[in-house]
């Protein structure tokens, strides 16, 4: 199947060509025709599958086909995402796909000044990508008009529920027109997701693509058994020996991310940390430096790394295994995208054996084990309980982060005209 077969407007085909996409991914091939029929969908797909284009392209197509297309810029599509990083990335993708259309998009999230967002909204925006908390601020201040919304997209809905956004989502939906198309994307089908979909979706078509990230042939996975106290030494060894130039490293806690980052710097490896306690500007800068190759290692917690999209990221390291098995799948899905080869290595100490068993059960396969010479674990060391740190807590405080920062394109409310 080609994009031409999907019946998309030439303005969209042009943008797709410029992105270098030759054929639709499985989620796109399945979702686009259904969305074009104006049906609601409940899609099991995670980041890395091409889901953003999967909902954006048909949405733009339907906007182009609709009569009221260019007359007035009013919010016609609303995309809710769990994190600022994902909101930024989704809007960046929308901007790329919509570049030859008349539609303007903007991103709205907390932790930055609200005024630039108000100014952008006043000028007229067609597509808004938002995190729920800040969007509710705009709703209550009446600085956004959502009465013309035709499309509601809940992106990474499971994550939004995890982060305690369920009531915020309901409050947002309450102010939307009843007549609309709703598309829900979620990596998992929990009972909470099912409940949400029965409440807000109209006879949705179910779409599921294989968990490509977990089973992908393109991701080489390995477990390196090592003592906890020697993980840093092993990581430095792997980076230096393998001459790795771009590595995303996951830690369980924010404190752990900071500490590891400092240690790697001491070892002569340029690194930066991103997590919920960093200002928005610091996070955006760290990601930009990492993408540009100015730093070799980005150390991240799960929440901060959510949805990070880096083309051809070759190495992902789990410095600590996540205690939630699903997070392993999300983490390693940052590599091996769109057919590129990637390597996902986990440094596992005796304390983490249970987490490993849970992960292997989830992905239904054994991950190859490596005992590297010179780093073999000391068999006399016994397992100890794991300190979870503050990271899980951060999920329950998604709107933290204060208002220290603003400015730049990410001062929130940057809108674009294409």
Q: Which residues bind ligand AMP (CB under 6 A)?
A: 21, 24-25, 28, 47-53, 309, 311, 337-338
Rg of the chain, C-alpha, whole Å: 22
**CB within 8 Å of 333: residues ≥ 6 apart:** 46, 47, 48, 213, 214, 219
Which residue number, 29 or 297, has a Cβ lying nearer to ligand AMP? 29
Taking the complex as a whole, the smallest distance from the CB of residue 21 to ligand AMP amounts, in Å, to: 4
Which residue number, 28 or 271, has a Cβ lying nearer to ligand AMP? 28
Calpha distance 280→408 (Å, rounded): 11
**CB within 8 Å of 40: residues ≥ 6 apart:** 181, 182, 183, 184, 201, 202, 203, 204, 205
Local structure of 318: helix, strand or coil: strand
Which residue number, 48 or 82, has a Cβ lying nearer to ligand AMP? 48
Taking the complex as a whole, the smallest distance from the CB of residue 300 to ligand AMP amounts, in Å, to: 16
Which residue number, 48 or 398, has a Cβ lying nearer to ligand AMP? 48
Buried b (16+ CB within 10 A) or exposed e, 268-306: ebebbbbbbbbbbbbbbbbbeebbeeebbbbbbbbbbbb
> Half-sphere exposure (CA, 13 Å, Cβ side) for 373?
0
Calpha distance 173→168 (Å, rounded): 9
Which residue number, 24 or 111, has a Cβ lying nearer to ligand AMP? 24
Which residue number, 275 or 334, has a Cβ lying nearer to ligand AMP? 334
Q: Give the Cα-Cα-Cα angle 212, 31, 132 (nearest 5 degrees).
A: 85
Which residue number, 90 or 261, has a Cβ lying nearer to ligand AMP? 90
Taking the complex as a whole, the smallest distance from the CB of residue 54 to ligand AMP amounts, in Å, to: 7
Taking the complex as a whole, the smallest distance from the CB of residue 99 to ligand AMP amounts, in Å, to: 14
Which residue number, 47 or 105, has a Cβ lying nearer to ligand AMP? 47
- Residue 404's alpha-carbon distances to 117, 150, 301, 411, in angstroms, are 16, 35, 21, 11
Question: Nearest-CA neighbor of 88 among 126, 59, 52, 122?
Answer: 52
Taking the complex as a whole, the smallest distance from the CB of residue 209 to ligand AMP amounts, in Å, to: 10
Structure tokens at 77: 């599509």
């Amino acid at each position: 199947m080609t994009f031409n077969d999907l019946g998309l407007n030439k303005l969209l085909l042009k943008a797709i060509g410029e992105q270098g996409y030759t054929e639709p991914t499985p989620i796109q091939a399945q979702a686009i025709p259904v969305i074009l029929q104006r049906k609601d969908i409940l899609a099991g797909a995670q980041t890395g599958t091409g889901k953003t284009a999967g909902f954006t392209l048909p949405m733009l197509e339907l906007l182009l086909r609709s009569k009221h297309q260019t007359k007035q810029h009013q919010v016609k599509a609303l995309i809710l995402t769990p994190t600022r990083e994902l909101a930024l990335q989704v809007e960046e993708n929308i901007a790329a796909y919509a570049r030859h259309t008349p539609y303007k998009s903007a991103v709205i999230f907390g932790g930055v000044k609200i005024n630039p967002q108000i100014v952008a909204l006043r000028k007229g925006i067609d597509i808004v990508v938002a995190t729920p908390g800040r969007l509710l601020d705009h709703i209550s201040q009446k600085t956004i008009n959502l009465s013309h919304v035709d499309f509601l997209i809940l992106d990474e809905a499971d994550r939004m529920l995890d982060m305690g956004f369920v009531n915020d989502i309901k409050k947002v939906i309450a102010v939307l027109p009843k007549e609309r198309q709703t598309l829900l994307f979620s990596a998992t089908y929990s009972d909470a997701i099912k409940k949400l979909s029965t409440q807000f979706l109209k006879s949705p078509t179910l779409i599921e693509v294989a968990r490509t990230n977990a089973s992908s042939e393109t991701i080489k996975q390995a477990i390196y058994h090592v003592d906890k106290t020697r993980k840093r030494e092993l990581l430095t060894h792997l980076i230096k020996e393998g001459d790795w130039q771009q590595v995303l490293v996951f830690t369980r806690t924010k404190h752990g991310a900071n500490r590891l980052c400092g240690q790697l710097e001491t070892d002569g490896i340029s690194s930066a940390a991103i997590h919920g306690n960093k200002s928005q500007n610091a996070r955006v800068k760290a990601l930009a430096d990492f993408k540009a190759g100015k730093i070799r290692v980005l150390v991240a917690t799960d929440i901060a790394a959510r949805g990070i999209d880096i083309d051809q990221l070759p190495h992902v390291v789990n410095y600590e295994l996540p205690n939630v098995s699903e997070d392993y799948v999300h983490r390693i899905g940052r590599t091996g995208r769109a057919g590129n080869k990637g390597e996902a290595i986990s440094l596992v100490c005796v304390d983490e054996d249970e987490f490993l068993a849970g992960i292997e059960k989830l992905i239904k396969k054994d991950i190859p084990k490596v005992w590297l010479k010179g780093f073999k674990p000391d068999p006399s060391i016994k397992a100890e309980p794991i300190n979870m740190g503050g990271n899980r807590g951060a999920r329950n405080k998604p709107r933290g982060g204060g208002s220290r920062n603003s400015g730049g394109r990410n001062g929130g409310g940057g809108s674009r005209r294409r």
